[in-house]
Amino acid sequence: FTTFSVDITCERGELAVFNPPANETCGDYLSTYQQGMGRGTNLLNPGATENCEVCRYTTGQDYLKTLNLNEEYYGWRNAGLVVLWAGVFYALVFLMMKLRTKATKRASA
């Protein structure tokens, strides 16, 4: 879960490229969006008046939120739950094997 604070660098093919309305910069056009729903987006050229380049993620946290890992500890919590789940079921199988009676251990033909 070390990707949480890593900065994201998008490749050219991953960028959303579009033109803002006339007489507006990319930063002006997207300012409201980036304060709301687009909070995690990264506008690469805010002063440009054409070919706005937007990367979907700024940090690893923005990507991990799409996987429902809203906080860094969620990943460790989920990993702990998986280990706990596997341990409990292993213990249950072991317990059931120990509780078998001699009559049920015999093979019947």
pLDDT of residue 19: 94
pLDDT digits (tens, 9 = 90+) for 30-75: 999 999 888 888 999 999 999 999 998 888 888 888 877 777 777 7
Distance in angstroms (rounded) separating the CA atoms of residues 32 and 40: 13
Cα separation, 83 vs 65, in Å, equals 23
Closest CA to 56 of 10, 17, 19, 2: 10
Give the global pTM: 0.61
The pLDDT of residue 62 is 84
Q: List, for residues 87-97, the tens digit of each pLDDT value.
A: 999 999 999 88
Distance CA 26, CA 63 (A): 23
